[in-house]
Amino acid sequence: MVFSINNFFDENNKKSKIADFQDLDHIDGISISTVSAGLYDHKRDDLVLFYFRDGASHASVFTQSKIVSENIKWNKNIKSQKLSALLINTRNANALTGIDGFNSLKVLSNDLSSHLTEKQKIDEENPKEIKSNEILFACTGTIGERFPLNEIKNKIPDLIKNIKYTQNKLIWMKAAMGIITTDSRPKLSMSECKIGSENIKVYGIAKGSGMIYPNMATTLGFVFTDARLPTSILKKILKESIKTTFNAISCDGDTSTNDMVSIISTNKANNPIIKDIKDSRLKHFKKSIYDVLLNLAKRVASDGEGASKFITITCKNAKSEDDAKNVSFSIANSPLVKTAFAGEDPNWGRIAMSIGKSNAQINVKKLSIFIGPYKIFFNGSIHKDYEEKIVSEYMKNESLVVTVDIGLGNKEFTAYTMDLTKKYIEINSDYRS
């Protein structure tokens, strides 16, 4: 798919999601660069570098798949509390590439750290040595293909040359577009808050369209902030926030080898020093992180491969949290439910089927099913006012809501998904061509 930035600033997009992106600007301590390494047959940026010239604190969560990419192995081995760079490549997952894939990252980290150290000598009054163990890697694309080491390595000088110390909405857009694969649009989000009296920025970008299902994040997601916070605090906030954001989405029920979500903080803000996650001054920051992660997660789900519908599924009043989650995902992952929604058919029997196979505790006499605001099945029987024609009309909307009331407790979980269309098959049948 060929992208042009201009496409995202036309009148149609100004009336849609692009409006949310207009105010992303500068975060102190972050530098961005994008280039094309020629990893695709068509011209597009496929390498994105985030450079933290004074270092940054960071926290990440990774896929729970038993088969992980070489970059995930690399990132898990990083013990440094300081992060100097994040390098993202598309088109190649660097998964099932063995020792050659891992050693390729060693080569890139050494080369990149050397170039950035030289840049420090040129640009900084007190230059620092950039170390190879201060670099994170994110890879996305086809699994099991040779990692394009030389193509990427040869473009590192251009990446360094193109570094922008000051960002604007265009640079953020280029970065978001540079990390996508089968996505139909870039995914960006922002929030601002206060820690004490200090203004704090929270910006995020993500990619993800297929192979989307927890655990963990089922995509690549990166949240950047200038908050002055230690890694220990960031880890706790991310772990808590991920549960109902990126771990609440599903496009096709498949978990990738490469999933990761990171929070990276430049520590440039002059907020009060905080050492305790329970500190009340973190309240608004936690919400900003959560809001950005949830916004990005929803964008991933709504942009599922071939999607025509964005579907929110809530199970409430379940006996346990696990029951609520199992019911929501059982519905979200059902091909029969997803194809019914694609066909704008209110076939609520498929929803009931999905509830039944979820292994959750169910008492049919207390079960209720809603599609949008309409009661379909209520307290164990078809609702007396149910009219399929009215619900069929509702199904024509691009954004749909399903609510299931178990009636056995007070636990709740919301999952986000998309419908299953012929376009999904088309995209994935010729993914590598």
Catalytically active residues are: 218
Cβ burial 14-52 (10 Å sphere, 16+ → b, else e)? eeebbeebeebebbebbbbbbbbbbbbeeebbbbbbbbb
C-alpha dihedral, 93 to 150 to 204 to 17, nearest 10°: -80
Which residues, in sequence order, are bridge partners of residue 400? Answer: 311
Helix axes 70-77, 98-123, angle to 10 degrees: 60
What phi, psi does 221 have (nearest 5°)? -140, 135
**Can you list the alpha helix ranges (DSSP code H) found in 168-274?**
169-178, 231-242
Looking at residue 174, the DSSP 8-state letter turns out to be: H
Q: Which pairs from 165-170 meet CB under 8 Å and 24+ separation?
A: 165/31, 165/53, 166/26, 167/24, 167/25, 167/26, 167/27, 167/30, 167/32, 168/24, 168/25, 168/26, 169/21, 169/22, 169/23, 169/24, 169/25, 170/5
Under DSSP, is residue 398 helix (H, G, I), strand (E, B) or coil? coil
Q: How many angstroms separate the CA atoms of 87 and 116, rounded?
A: 12
Element (DSSP H or E) covering residue 89: strand 83-89
How far apart, in whole angstroms, are the C-alpha atoms of residue 50 and residue 124?
Answer: 17
**CA 41, CA 227: separation in Å to the nearest integer?**
40
405 neighbors 377 (Cβ within 8 angstroms): no
Burial label for 66, CB within 10 Å (0-12, 13-18, 19+), is exposed
Phi, psi of 29 (to 5 degrees): 95, -5
Residue 341 DSSP SS3: helix
Distance CA 186, CA 147 (A): 24
- The CA distance from 63 to 220, in Å, is 10
For residue 110 the two structure tokens come to: 């050494």
Q: Which residues of 227-244 are buried (b: 16+ CB within 10 A; e: fewer)?
A: bbbebebbbbbbeebbeb
